Structure formats: C-alpha cells, structure tokens
Amino acid sequence: MASYDRPEPHPDTMATTPHFSDTVEPHHHRLAIDDADDVYVVGDVHGSRSALESLLATLDIGDDGIVVFVGDLVRKGPDSPGVVDLVRDDDRLLSVRGNNEQKILRGDKTPDWLREGDRAYFESLPVAISFAECLVVHGGVDPDRPLDEHTVEDLLTMRAPNGDGYDGPFWYETYDGPHRVFFGHTVHEAPVVADHAVGLDTGCVYGGSLTAYDYHADDVVTVEQSTTHEERTDAKIVTVG
C-alpha cells in the first residue's frame, strides 16, 4: 500500500457542503462519517464479483465502516447480478450511479442478466455522495463551471471537457478544489492521487486491478485481477506519472 499526504480542507469546504442545481441536488447524498471506523472509496467493479470479494476481504470492514463505490458496478464482467447483490444487501456499502447503470435506465442497454428490481435499484442510486471535504461522482467535474451548473450527465461522463476523450486534457489536471473529488469512468494504469482528485478506475475488468482508497489511513489498497474479462486498447488506458 502506498501512503499519500491528504491536503488540508479548503477554507470554502469548511464552510459548506457541495450544492448542485435544483435538478441534481435531489440525487446528492451527504454522509456523516464521524462514527465510521473505516471509510473507503472503491473504483469501477464492472461485474467482477470475485475481485470485489477479494478486495472486501482485504479491507476487513468493521460493523461501523462505510464503503462508497464510484459507480459502474455492472456490465462487461461475468457477474453483474452478484456485484449488485453484494452491494445492495450490505448497509455499509453505498454507490453512486455510473454511466453504465444510466445506460440501462435509459434503455440503451438491456442485458440478459437484468432482473426484476435491478432497474429500481439503479434509479435509487445517487449521482453524487459527499462527506467531509470529499465528493464522489462517477465521471468528474468541469473545473471551469460551478457545481450548480453541472447536469446529471456531466457528473456521470465527465472526462475531457476542453479536449477529446482519452486524448485529454483531463478535467482533473486543472481542477483545484474546493472539494476533493473521487471518480472512476476514465481507466488508468494506476490510481490517480492528487490534492483535489482521486481516480480509482484501474481497469479491473480489463485485467488490471480493483482499487480502494482508505480515507482514514491515506492509503490506496489494490487487488490484482487474474482474468481479463474484456479487451481494451492501450489508447484507452491512461498512463499515470
């Protein structure tokens, strides 16, 4: 595990929690973590239940622990229903909605594993979860716009608002707060850990690793994936460092 120095909370964050537009705010969930012994944020799982089970066993979460997922629990991997059941059935595990859950809700994708109740669960997932100085969304935020000018789609799919997809430049390269944003969506070869952005999609379903960030310990925890469930070109995996 690698250790990182978490920045002091931005003065603006000390005074306020994230606030979105009237359309988005109902999909924002604020967490109280004062009594949480463990607080983790986990990257994109994409139906990789075995990797998730290994990660949760490694984390050994206490009864008062909290695990927040950055979305994309499902699709591409072999056991999306198993991942949904693991997260939905444990009150300590929470997730924001990812763009892959959104594709199912829009009807763009209708996977054959979809069961009664799954759509309702995806619909119930918030688009943003915040705690302390932190904000968890699937895609990210546009550094050039305040949060209340972001749409649901922005928060789900943000990658390179002033660029071109995986060619960048990426939003987090110029984002300077006030909140520390945890995100997935954009696949990296290793976790991105910056002062105000933490990227946790390390390509689990593509043969990479599944990554968690330990908020209290300032560590990243990873478990390697032994199987590549879907191929991905190097052009769509961002090199870190």
DSSP readout, 178-194? SSEEEE-SS-BSS-EE-
DSSP readout, 77-129? SS-HHHHHHHHHT-TTEEEPPPHHHHHHHHTS---TT--TTHHHHHHHS-SEE
**Would you list the domain boundaries of the chain?**
2-7+31-236
Give the pLDDT confidence score for residue 226 in this predicted structure.
77
Residues forming a β-bridge with 223: 210
Instruction: Specify the higher pLDDT residue, 176 or 241.
Output: 176
Query: Model confidence over 34-71: pLDDT tens digits?
Result: 999 999 999 999 999 999 999 999 999 999 999 999 99
Sign of CA dihedral 77, 160, 94, 213: positive
Give the pLDDT confidence score for residue 191 in this predicted structure.
97
Cα–Cα dist 222/51, whole Å? 10
Enumerate residues 6+ apart whose C-beta is below 8 A from 44. 70, 71, 72, 98, 184, 185, 187, 200, 201, 204, 205
Give the pLDDT confidence score for residue 6 in this predicted structure.
46
Alpha-carbon distance values, 178 to 2, 75, 82 (Å): 24, 33, 36
Confidence category of residue 241, pLDDT binned at 50, 70, 90: confident
Q: Residue 201's closest CA among 212, 185, 225?
A: 185
Looking at every residue in the chain, the average pLDDT score rounds to: 93
The mean per-residue pLDDT over the stretch 94-100 comes to 98
The mean per-residue pLDDT over the stretch 19-28 comes to 97
Three-class DSSP category at 16? coil
pLDDT > 70 fraction of the chain, expressed in percent and rounded: 93
Pair of tokens at residue 181: 């944003």
Give the pLDDT confidence score for residue 227 in this predicted structure.
86
Could you please state the CATH topology (level 3) that the domain comprising 2-7+31-236 is classified under.
Answer: Purple Acid Phosphatase; chain A, domain 2 (3.60.21)
Lowest mean pLDDT among 13-17, 146-150, 205-209: 13-17
Cα–Cα dist 160/139, whole Å? 10
Pair of tokens at residue 57: 């066993």
The mean per-residue pLDDT over the stretch 223-240 comes to 90
* Residue 183, φ and ψ in degrees, nearest 5: -150, 165
The mean per-residue pLDDT over the stretch 206-232 comes to 93
Confidence category of residue 240, pLDDT binned at 50, 70, 90: confident
The mean per-residue pLDDT over the stretch 70-88 comes to 98
Give the pLDDT confidence score for residue 5 in this predicted structure.
44
Query: Model confidence over 140-199: pLDDT tens digits?
Result: 999 999 999 999 999 999 999 999 999 999 999 999 999 999 999 999 999 999 999 999
Confidence category of residue 203, pLDDT binned at 50, 70, 90: very high
**Is the model's pLDDT at 9 over the cut of 70?**
no
**Is the model's pLDDT at 108 over the cut of 50?**
yes
> Which residue type, as a one-letter code, is found at position 8?
E
Q: Where are the alpha helices (DSSP H) in 147-219?
A: 152-157
Cα–Cα dist 107/105, whole Å? 5
